[in-house]
Amino acid sequence: MLVKPVLILFCLLELSNAAALYFAPGTRYANAVGVFRAWEQSKQYPEIHDLVRYLVYWVAGAKLIFLLLLAVIVIFGDVEIQRLSLAALALGTASFFWRLYPLIRKMDRGGQIEPENYSKVLGLMILVFIAAFILAALV
């Protein structure tokens, strides 16, 4: 049964992302915001940088809430609830392609992302997550 291992692996990956956003938001690892050239540029404008930092921490906090709820599902939910949570994860994760992917592709093409083609790698990684959620829910 793949349900619980997939959920736990996803929780660990997202926990590393939340930690990076809270404690090292400028890093290029764990999907933090260091890949965006605007992160460093925003530091030249303290008011803008404060807003950017606020939004980064807001995302980290939302991830933490989500992760804690998912941990409750992993620990206390039965297999059916865990499978349904995978379906919800697949659907929610797919929303990336609605607004975020077009925006990051635009920034990548405009030279605002480093490394170059990061948006393609991120898009592929998210597709793999969605496929893993669906596969684990069906098996």
Residue 129, Cβ neighbours under 10 Å: how many?
20
Alpha-carbon distance 67 to 57, whole Å?
15
pLDDT, tens digit only, all 139 positions of the chain: 899 999 999 999 999 999 999 999 999 998 899 999 999 999 999 999 999 999 999 999 999 999 999 999 999 999 999 999 999 999 999 999 999 999 999 999 999 999 999 999 999 999 999 999 999 999 8
User: What's the whole-model pTM score?
Assistant: 0.90
Alpha-carbon distance 94 to 82, whole Å?
18
Alpha-carbon distance 40 to 32, whole Å?
13
